[in-house]
Amino acid sequence: SPSPPLPTHRTDVDCSSDYGSANPYDGGGGGGFVDGCHPLHCNRLVFDNFLDEEGVERLKDIAEKAIEAGRGNGGRAGPTILDINSGYLRDDQGLVNIYESSGDTPIFSPSDFSFYLSVVERIRSAVSSSNGLDPSQPKFTAPTFMTRIRYDETWRPSGMHDVYWMPHVDKENTGHYDYSGLLYLSTQGEDFEEGMFEFLVNDEDRETVEAQVKPERGKLVSFTAGSENLHRVNVVRGGTRYVLSFWFTCDGEKEFGNFLDGEIHRAYGKEGGDGNEL
């Protein structure tokens, strides 16, 4: 396969001490620094045009098919978050499973799945090579999200899960995340208004902007997932914004091997069975 693309922009940041230690949220698992995988140097990387326009349209089509299967009528305003693997979709009306609500009618074609998988592997490989890691590292892990934010002036959050603009550290939410990858399917200023991505100074206030990244169709933004990379999304004030969020781990036990096998969602209870629910 062709060699992975190089980042268009790179910013180095000092690593936090978050890597390779046991994580209390993971039942104490994930201990130990993995050479060739955990970051010695932390960063923020941007890959312009990582995915071409045709690929962007295919992924948006997959997101829209999922939302239609789960909710109908084009889905809801505000944030709609989907884990394509488990099938759980969350919006301001709550949680549904797209695979359960669609019954025996397939939502996605085999080529949808294989395309999606090929994008995941390309991102993993770009993260690996641009961080100088062992090519088999890091491992793809769960959960992953497709997020659509559709502006509507009357929309208000119906609970904390709707508040998508909170500053956060990805590794604080899910301890085994080591690298984050965000693939944008919409362009700020064209497809939607405001909604910029921002890295913040990680101090007590958590509100000083250090750098902004403009979402653009096909752009990949990757960064180390620890507290050196506190970030947030700004409120969207017009249009529709799509992003895919992927994470990669150095904890071999958290590798997501059965991704998109069409079966994994059966292992989830109605409320989510293994802590990976939305």
Ligand X SMILES: O=C(O)CCC(=O)C(=O)O
Binding map of Fe ion across residues 131-170, x = CB under 5 A, - = no contact: ---------------------------------------x
Instruction: List, by residue number, the catalytic residues.
Output: 241
Nearer to Fe ion, 69 or 220 (CB): 220
Least gap, CB of 182 to ligand X (angstroms): 5
Least gap, CB of 221 to ligand X (angstroms): 7
End-to-end CA gap in the chain: 34
88 in Cβ contact with 71 (< 8 Å) = no
Q: Considering only residues 170-189, where is the footprint of Fe ion by CB under 5 A?
A: 170
Q: If binding is defined by CB under 5 A, does position 112 make contact with Fe ion?
A: no
Binding map of ligand X across residues 155-194, x = CB under 6 A, - = no contact: ---------------x-----------x------------
The token pair at 21 is 């230690």
The H or E element that residue 63 is part of is helix 53-71
Nearer to ligand X, 13 or 243 (CB): 243
Nearer to ligand X, 167 or 262 (CB): 167
59 in Cβ contact with 116 (< 8 Å) = yes
Cβ burial of 208 (10 Å; 0-12, 13-18, 19+) is exposed
The token pair at 198 is 């921002």
The H or E element that residue 126 is part of is helix 110-130
Q: If binding is defined by CB under 6 A, does position 34 make contact with ligand X?
A: no
Q: If binding is defined by CB under 6 A, does position 243 make contact with ligand X?
A: yes
CA dist., res. 237 & res. 90, Å (int): 21
Nearer to ligand X, 58 or 219 (CB): 219
The token pair at 127 is 């993260």
Least gap, CB of 229 to ligand X (angstroms): 10
At position 69, the amino acid (one-letter code) is A
Q: How many residues bind ligand X (CB under 6 A)?
A: 9
155 contact, one of ligand X, Fe ion, none, CB 5-8 Å limit per kind = none
Nearer to ligand X, 83 or 112 (CB): 83
Q: If binding is defined by CB under 6 A, does position 245 make contact with ligand X?
A: yes
User: How far, CA to CA in Å, does 145 sit from each of 8, 79, 182, 203, 257?
Assistant: 24, 12, 10, 27, 17
**Cβ–Cβ contacts within 10 Å for residue 212, how many?**
11
Binding site for ligand X (CB under 6 A): 145, 147, 170, 182, 197, 231, 233, 243, 245
